[in-house]
């Protein structure tokens, strides 16, 4: 398999992308990462980009992410929020895990919020749900299902009296 070649091919698996923990708040619009390659102070930022950037892109499709290499004297992350506000995170000589935890604490949704959003999405997005509280009142509204017998009379073959008792039921 050609996608399993290269440095750390596990980063290109769907399972790895789904395990990302950095889900930004709705106010985050742009994330920029500034670091230098080959610099000891930028090692943590480089590793953060290498291991977590793909997960961040997968979990936050509406956030624009820009990386700047070899353009700054010290590494940092900058987040642009709604309303023109900026959040600057200094990552000089920090480990990738420290950067991950710090960003998670200040700019990401809490686990309770994520659980509530997942529950709300599961309730509304399941096409098998129908009834008064769902998007569909009756299962007959789903394409491919038998229409309601109140609106369209059923064929004889679909009625229990005809099928099991072989009674010829007249249309009424």
* pLDDT tens readout for residues 111-156: 999 999 988 877 666 777 778 777 788 888 888 888 888 788 888 7
Tens of pLDDT, residue by residue over 27-60, are: 999 999 999 998 999 999 999 999 999 999 999 9
Strand 64-69 relative to strand 76-81, pairing: unpaired
Verify that 90 and 46 share a domain, yes or no: yes
Structural domain tally of the chain? 2
Q: What is the pLDDT of residue 151?
A: 81
pTM for this one? Answer: 0.70
Q: Which residues of 78-115 are buried (b: 16+ CB within 10 A; e: fewer)?
A: ebbbeeeeeeebebeebebeebbeebeeebbbeeeeee
Residue 92 lies in a domain: yes
Residue 22 has pLDDT above 80, yes or no: yes
| Beta carbons of 140 and 134 less than 8 angstroms apart | no
Same domain for 102 and 164: no
Among the three residues 116, 142, 161, which one is the final residue of a domain in this structure?
116
Q: Which domain holds residue 37?
A: 2-116
Residues 59 and 135 in one domain: no
Mean pLDDT of 80-84: 95
d(CA 8, CA 47): 12
Partner residues linked to 66 by β-bridges: 32
Same domain for 57 and 134?
no
60 in a structural domain: yes
Which CATH number characterizes residue 95's domain?
Answer: 3.40.30.10
Query: Could you tell me the sign of the dihedral formed by the alpha carbons of 39, 44, 47, 49, in that order?
Result: negative
163 and 99 share one domain: no
Task: Kindly state whether residue 65 falls inside one of the protein's structural domains.
Answer: yes
> Using CA of residue 78, residue 83, residue 85, residue 87, what is the dihedral sign?
negative
Q: Could you give the angle at the alpha carbon of 31 between the alpha carbons of 26 and 36, nearest 5°?
A: 160
Are 109 and 75 within one domain?
A: yes
Calpha distance 65→68 (Å, rounded)? 10
pLDDT at 62 over 80: yes
Q: Do 103 and 150 lie in a common domain?
A: no
């Amino acid at each position: 398999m050609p996608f399993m070649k290269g440095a750390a091919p596990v980063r290109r698996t769907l399972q790895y992308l789904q395990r990302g923990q950095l889900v930004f708040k709705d106010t985050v619009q742009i994330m920029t990462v500034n670091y230098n390659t080959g610099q000891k102070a930028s090692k943590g930022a480089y590793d953060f980009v290498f291991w977590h950037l793909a997960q961040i892109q997968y979990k936050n499709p509406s956030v624009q992410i820009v990386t700047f290499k070899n353009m700054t004297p010290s590494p940092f992350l900058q987040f642009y929020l709604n309303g023109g506000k900026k959040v600057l995170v200094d990552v000089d000589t920090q480990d990738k895990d420290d950067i991950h935890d710090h960003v998670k604490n200040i700019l990401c949704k809490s686990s309770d919020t994520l659980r509530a959003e997942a529950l709300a999405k599961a309730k509304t997005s399941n096409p098998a749900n129908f009834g008064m509280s769902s998007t569909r009142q009756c299962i007959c509204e789903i394409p491919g299902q038998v229409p309601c017998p109140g609106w369209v009379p059923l064929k004889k073959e679909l009625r229990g009296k005809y099928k099991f008792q072989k009674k010829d039921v007249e249309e009424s």
